[in-house]
Amino acid sequence: MRVLISGAGIAGPTLSYWLARHGFEPTLVECAPKLRTGGYIIDFWGAGFDIADRMGLLPEIRRKGYMVEEVRVVDRNGRHIAGFSVKSLVRLAQDRYVSLPRGDLAASTFGKIEGRVETIFGDSVRAIEQSERGVHVTFERGAPRDFDLVVGADGLHSRVRELVFGPESQFEKYLGYKVAAFETQAYRPRDDLVYVMYTQVGQQVARFTMRDDRTMFLFIFADEDASFPADLQNQKALLRKQFGNGGWECPQILDALDAASDLYFDRVSQIRMDPKHGLWTRGRVTLIGDAAFCVSLLAGQGSALAMIGAYILAGELRRANGDYSKAFARYQQFFAPFVLEKQKAALRFAGYFAPKSRAALFLRNLMFNLLAFRWIANFAFGRGLSDKLRLPDYE
């Protein structure tokens, strides 16, 4: 079976890997001219960690990753005002926990299929026509081609979803925050293995020190207006406007941003699709990862869920011997309830990132300090750090 997968982020390459392993013929199409390696540091644990293990990725992920030791909140003068040790979280995840740059996870996953799965960079699906015999796909640049199935793994702003299910506005739930991340060289100061964050009411900037003299930054800010500029210069200008009056290292971080050529900038949103209308599936087309069920940055698990969804979809296609309607139905039945829970949990976490009032900020910092007590850490994160999903074995 020939399967076209749109999007080479995290979900797309993972699905390609498992489909190829199960004897399918995947083709990956990515609109960017090369693999996109931007983004912030992500915490990786739970069932996503188990999939990485099954793909043989763990040694590389552990090598590229970081065992973060501390989350530290500072005030406008850089004084340590709150925080907690990450050790208790690592223990709760039974040591199957690592933090790594999203770009490194993307590169490692892609490394598993590079040269083995047909991959087209710099192109995108323009039209999708389904018939009983297959799917006829027209591309923006390449010649039209026929496939048996099409999978949209093209992220929050999925083209496949728009073409097959309708406009993004029908499915996107904007959570009232914008996020941006970038990386720079030779930034000072450095604090190894510490997430340092400076929070003002409704906005936060965080810094993470990496190997090879690299440093990563993450901005998050509340904004009622969901729109944002598409071009790099205006995105930088918006961040300067938002953080220009900030204390701590804001002025020098904004100077480093001026020199950056790659910036990840997006809304913090969830994608909620309607189970009454086929959820993520229409005929021979289905969706995975953020395209289907974006849980948002607030869940801290988007990449893991993208990998788990890809594993289950590929496995169900194998189990159903290519009977795609059966496989798509099982994939959804099994995975949708789990994802829905994660989306709800993410909403509960919204206030942790950039509390919208002084009182909420005070309580967040107090909560961080209380995490030093083991039973409070268990209470706050215990449920979240152990995925109740039992991964099926498809081989």
Binding site residues, ligand FAD, CB under 6 A = 6-12, 29-32, 36, 38-40, 102, 124, 153-155, 159, 181, 264, 289-291, 297, 302-303, 306
CB of 132 vs ligand FAD, minimal distance in Å = 26
Cβ closer to ligand FAD: 79 or 117? 117
The two tokens of residue 24 are 């399918």
- Residue number with CB closer to ligand FAD (11 or 149): 11
| Beta carbons of 257 and 233 less than 8 angstroms apart | no
Place of tokens 């909420």: 360
Q: Please identify, using beta-carbon distances, which residue of 73 and 299 lies nearer to ligand FAD.
A: 299
- Stated as kind and residue range, the H or E segment containing 209 is strand 203-209
Question: Amino acid identity, residue 223?
Answer: D
Smallest separation (angstroms) from ligand FAD to the CB of 297: 4
8 vs 82 by CB, closer to ligand FAD: 8
Which of residues 16 and 88 has its CB atom nearest to ligand FAD in the complex? 16
What is the C-alpha to C-alpha distance for residues 331 and 325, in angstroms, rounded to an integer? 10
Question: 339 and 320 in contact (C-beta within 8 Å)?
Answer: no
CB of 271 to ligand FAD, least distance (A): 10
CB nearer to ligand FAD: pick between 84 and 293: 293
DSSP character string of 288-353: -THHHH---GGGT-HHHHHHHHHHHHHHHHHHTTT-HHHHHHHHHHHHHHHHHHHHHHHHHHHHHH
Q: Taking the complex as a whole, how short is the minimal distance between the CB of residue 31 and ligand FAD, in angstroms?
A: 4
Nearest approach, Cβ of residue 77 and ligand FAD (Å): 27
Per the CB < 8 A criterion, the answer to whether 9 and 31 are in contact is no
- Taking CB atoms, the residue at the shortest distance from ligand FAD is 9
Q: Identify how many contiguous H helices and E strands the chain contains and give both numbers.
A: 13, 18
- The secondary structure of residue 143, as a DSSP letter, is P
Q: Of 355, 213, 314, 307, which is closest to residue 3 (Cα–Cα)?
A: 314
Q: Which 3-state string (H, E, C) describes 358-395?
A: HHHHHHHHHHHHHCCCHHHHHHHHCCCCCCCCCCCCCC
- By C-beta, is 58 or 376 nearer to ligand FAD? 58
Enter the tokens of residue 1: 């079976």
Residue 362 beta carbon to ligand FAD: minimum distance, rounded to whole angstroms: 26
H/E stretch holding 137 reads strand 135-139
Judged by beta carbon, residue 77 or residue 169, the one nearer ligand FAD is 169
Q: Residue-wise over 231-248: b if at least 16 C-beta within 10 A, else e?
A: eeeebbebbeebbeebeb
CB of 321 to ligand FAD, least distance (A): 27
Q: Least distance from C-beta 164 to ligand FAD, angstroms?
A: 12
Of 79 and 341, the one with the shorter C-beta distance to ligand FAD is 341
Q: Where on the phi/psi map is residue 278: left (φ > 0), alpha (ψ -120 to 50), or beta?
A: left
Output the smallest distance, CB 159 to ligand FAD, in A. Answer: 3
